[in-house]
């Protein structure tokens, strides 16, 4: 509804239908799975289902019915088509909700339902899941290098990071699983902040095309400072919480396969390239768009500054003290692997 009513451009209707149809397809399959599960076992209590669902063909059927819903939501390659369109056409608050909350529902579904309730089927399809996640990381990283819309660049970056989190989630290691959860949390802060920064530019100048901007650091120093913080967080600079999650995922992939480690490193290498390119093209170089509108330029207001300051605080705080999150999820992740 936010996208359909308050979308920023004429393509918002197309983006709304993309979002609606993809979500409807996955939700219908999940509803069918829930109804079949209730008719088969007489309950939808997750704790009971962990011991009732047998390890046979029925588990594979249930796994497929739930998988598509969560793969669309996170989104996993090749079910990601709706996300760039939705992000580009949505207002800033819509993009923040998508990046900070909605995508994480897919990760929660993978952890809470697929891995917990259908461990045998998940183990059976792990090679397929890892292949799709690797393709997602590489595809999104290469695709965004040719984008000229700021929000579309950040959207494809989100796809790459979500698929990278799935690599750790299905690495079948405790450290990789913890890293994926940590990266999901961290991505909610960094990606949401980047969409807010893109929204700041759009509210002032009504364009997100990157070639209109340049030399922004000379005119908006506070904006440049926050853009720098969230850019280095986006590619996992040490001291930020993204770094902790990515490091643990790399450790988990290294325990499983050098090939997985190499593919994951390839994707993260490109994340450094596109993050620095976006940062450099907007904040440095010659003044472009602003030569025509000096009278309308102003730095972050108090509301924008406070929100970005809170997000940057959590990124750095959890990057320096990650054990606060690890202590909360240690028991649950161990139970997932045991199950």
Q: pLDDT tens digits for 245-292?
A: 899 999 888 888 888 888 888 878 888 888 888 888 888 877 765 444
Kindly state the average pLDDT of the residues 54-62: 78
Give the chain's domain count: 1
Q: Look at residue 308 in the predicted model and tell me its pLDDT.
A: 92
Q: Look at residue 333 in the predicted model and tell me its pLDDT.
A: 55
User: Would you call the peptide bond into 40 cis, given omega within 30 degrees of 0 as the criterion?
Assistant: no
Q: Look at residue 258 in the predicted model and tell me its pLDDT.
A: 85
Q: Tokens 């990789």, residue?
A: 176
Q: Look at residue 57 in the predicted model and tell me its pLDDT.
A: 74
Q: Look at residue 309 in the predicted model and tell me its pLDDT.
A: 93
**339 vs 73 pLDDT, higher one:** 73
Does pLDDT of 331 surpass 60? no
Q: Look at residue 15 in the predicted model and tell me its pLDDT.
A: 72
User: Pick from 96, 91, 292, 289: which is nearest to 209 by CA?
Assistant: 289
**Poorest-pLDDT segment among 51-55, 93-97, 207-211, 305-309:** 51-55
- Most confident range (mean pLDDT) of 21-25, 111-115, 222-226 is 222-226
Please write the tens of the pLDDT for every residue from 127-168.
Answer: 999 999 999 888 888 888 888 888 888 888 888 888 999 998
- Reported confidence tier of residue 313, pLDDT bands at 50, 70, 90: very high
Please write the tens of the pLDDT for every residue from 192-235.
Answer: 899 999 888 888 877 888 888 888 888 888 999 999 999 999 88
Q: Which residues constitute the domain of residue 138?
A: 2-338
């Amino acid at each position: 509804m936010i996208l359909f009513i308050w979308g920023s451009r004429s393509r918002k209707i197309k983006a709304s239908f993309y979002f609606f149809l993809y979500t409807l397809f996955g939700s219908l399959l999940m509803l069918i799975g829930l109804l079949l599960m209730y008719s088969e076992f007489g309950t939808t209590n997750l704790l009971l289902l962990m011991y009732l669902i047998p390890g046979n063909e029925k588990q594979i059927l249930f796994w497929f019915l739930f998988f598509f819903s969560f793969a669309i939501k996170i989104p996993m390659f090749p079910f990601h088509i709706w996300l760039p369109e939705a992000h580009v056409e949505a207002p800033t608050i819509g993009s923040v909700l998508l990046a900070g909350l909605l995508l994480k529902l897919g990760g929660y579904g993978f952890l809470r339902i697929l891995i917990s309730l259908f461990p045998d089927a998940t183990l059976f399809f792990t090679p397929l899941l890892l292949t799709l996640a690797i393709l997602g990381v590489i595809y999104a990283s290469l695709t965004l290098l040719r984008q000229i819309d700021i929000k579309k660049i950040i959207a494809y970056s989100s796809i790459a990071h979500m698929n990278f989190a799935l690599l750790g989630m299905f690495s079948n290691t405790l450290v990789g699983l913890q890293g994926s959860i940590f990266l999901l949390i961290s991505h909610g802060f960094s990606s949401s902040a980047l969409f807010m920064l893109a929204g700041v530019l759009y509210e002032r100048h009504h364009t997100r095309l990157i070639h209109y901007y340049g030399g922004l650091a000379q005119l908006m120093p506070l904006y440049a400072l926050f853009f720098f913080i969230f850019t280095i967080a986006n590619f996992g600079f040490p001291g930020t919480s993204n770094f902790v999650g990515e490091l643990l995922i790399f450790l988990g992939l290294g325990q499983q396969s050098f090939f997985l480690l190499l593919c994951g490193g390839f994707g993260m290498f490109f994340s450094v390239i596109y993050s620095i390119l976006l940062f450099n093209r907007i904040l440095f170089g010659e003044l472009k768009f602003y030569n025509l509108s000096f009278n309308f330029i102003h730095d972050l207001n108090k509301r924008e500054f406070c929100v970005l300051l809170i997000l940057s605080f959590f990124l750095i705080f959890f990057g320096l003290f990650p054990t606060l999150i690890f202590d909360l999820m240690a028991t649950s992740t161990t139970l997932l692997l045991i199950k």
